[in-house]
Amino acid sequence: MTYIRLIIITCFFGLHLQAQTDTTFILNSTSVETFLPAIALTEARTEVLKLQEPVKTLFKCNLLALSPITNGRTLFGQAGEVVNSKNWPIDLEISVEQKIGKPFSIGATIATSAVSYNTFNPDIFRKPGRQYFQNATFEAEGRWYYAMTKRINAGKQANNLSGPYLGASFRWIHWRKDVIFENGVNDQRGAFLNVGIQQRIFKHGYFDLGYGFGYLRSEESPYIRNNRHFSSALRAKLGFAIAGPSSKDDSKGSYCEALRCFREERSMFKIDLLNLINFSSFYYTKQLDFAPSIAWEQKINQSAFSIETEASLAMSYRGFRYQDDLQNLKIRSDYQSFKAQLVVQPRYYFDLKRRIAKGTAGNNLSGPYVGLHNVFSKTWLDGKTSFSLPTEFRISTYGVGLVVGCQYRFLRHGYVDFNIGQGVSTSSGHIINSDGSRNTINGDWGKYLIGTFKVGVAF
């Protein structure tokens, strides 16, 4: 698992180093940006997002699927949270997208859960223990980039695979027979409508953010009689992309104006928009999350050190409905939870002085960093259930760990921040079960994974 973490970190730093190389070349070739900042910003945005590069074929690898961040995946935790070290699902996901005419494309995705665990999942009856390559997912999707024709005609972008889109997809999931109970579900099929936006990032990066909703259908079995379920979830993908051989990049803009390389910045106020609100439905579980988060990052004098302080309040509703006619079993659960959290994270931007000395950056809060993650949280959960499940949580948690990440400003008020790491945590409090029994959490220390992916506005 350590190798997977190193792969993720290396990949993101690779994108960073490539961007800096291009920046150095551009700095020696332009002087008009000082006098025409609006034009320079537009040209820089075009260059960073590769808007003027014609692309007919795009090969993609979603790196977020390798991380413990749960956005857009089966709910192992709240959206944007991380999972316990023992329950980290590692997914491999690759896809290809082919252009058809100006506004349309077709694509195919292949994915597998390379490593999964026996985390509770109401639609899959798995044997306990670690499982390798326990399923395979195939998805075909057609997309309509509805604004593309107009933008091409206006000269704002080339004929490529970037921009907002509407899509329709068909998904087939096959589970290995040796990882489910006898007579369990082996195949699931689903049809979805998707809305989102896809953009290139530099030469070999991409992101795809959107929302999908539709229906999943499973094989009938003694365990599952109602085999059609509404499903929806946030789609968040970030990773590597390689354009097909017919692509041609003639752009000569500047990365730096878009990434605010030379902005002198001692402090930054940030609002995370990616994880602000999410509605998800997966078989028997429905969940609504609202998680406002604000952060303040302050440099320590003129050094490469800073301290980020983040406050968030996560409000969540989770409903669970399950019926087994064979065993005359009905389960109905409703939970409301609140989680107040404070994170204090000292950071060190370890290559900032080198970039300043080379003339490729100002003294700011952008670039790769290492940080000491300190989190304090309090969780309140109350619910009703017709089964032997907890009905009340009152838990206080403290965790500390090391993270490695990368943060960038982009355009005027945008920012993106990704980090990953590991630490230890301790919790105290109590859990009350539906039968009235009480379990006390005694504060033992244990390992946990840390993961953050944020996109929002900064001032």
Q: What is the pLDDT of residue 208?
A: 92
Percent share of the chain, pLDDT over 90: 26
Give the DSSP letter of residue 65: G
**Entry pTM:** 0.71
Between residues 46 and 452, the one the model is more confident about: 452
Q: Quick: pLDDT tens for 175-207.
A: 776 655 444 556 788 898 999 999 988 788 898
Between residues 280 and 43, the one the model is more confident about: 280
Q: What is the pLDDT of residue 13?
A: 44
d(CA 119, CA 124): 10
Q: Is the pLDDT of residue 222 over 60?
A: no
Between residues 106 and 433, the one the model is more confident about: 106
- The stretch 252-276 carries a mean pLDDT of 74
Among 255, 268, 198, 193, which residue's Cα sits nearest to residue 40?
Answer: 255
d(CA 242, CA 206): 9
- The stretch 101-125 carries a mean pLDDT of 71
Q: Is the pLDDT of residue 261 over 70?
A: no
Q: What is the pLDDT of residue 173?
A: 83
Q: What is the pLDDT of residue 186?
A: 67
Q: What is the pLDDT of residue 29?
A: 32
Q: Is the pLDDT of residue 331 over 90?
A: no
Residue 240 and residue 61 in contact, taking contact as beta carbons nearer than 8 Å: yes
Between residues 70 and 443, the one the model is more confident about: 443
- The stretch 437-444 carries a mean pLDDT of 83
Among 381, 393, 382, 391, which residue's Cα sits nearest to residue 434?
Answer: 391
Q: Quick: pLDDT tens for 272-295.
A: 988 888 777 766 777 888 889 999
Q: How many CB atoms lie within 10 A of CB 448?
A: 20
- The stretch 137-148 carries a mean pLDDT of 94
- The stretch 410-429 carries a mean pLDDT of 86
- 130: tokens are 């670690």
Q: Is the pLDDT of residue 298 over 90?
A: yes
Q: Is the pLDDT of residue 226 over 50?
A: yes
Q: Is the pLDDT of residue 254 over 70?
A: no
Q: What is the pLDDT of residue 133?
A: 75
Residue 165 and residue 197 in contact, taking contact as beta carbons nearer than 8 Å: yes
Q: Is the pLDDT of residue 262 over 90?
A: no
Provide the H-helix boundaries in 285-384.
352-357
Kindly state the helix (H) or strand (E) to which residue 3 belongs, with its residue range: helix 2-27
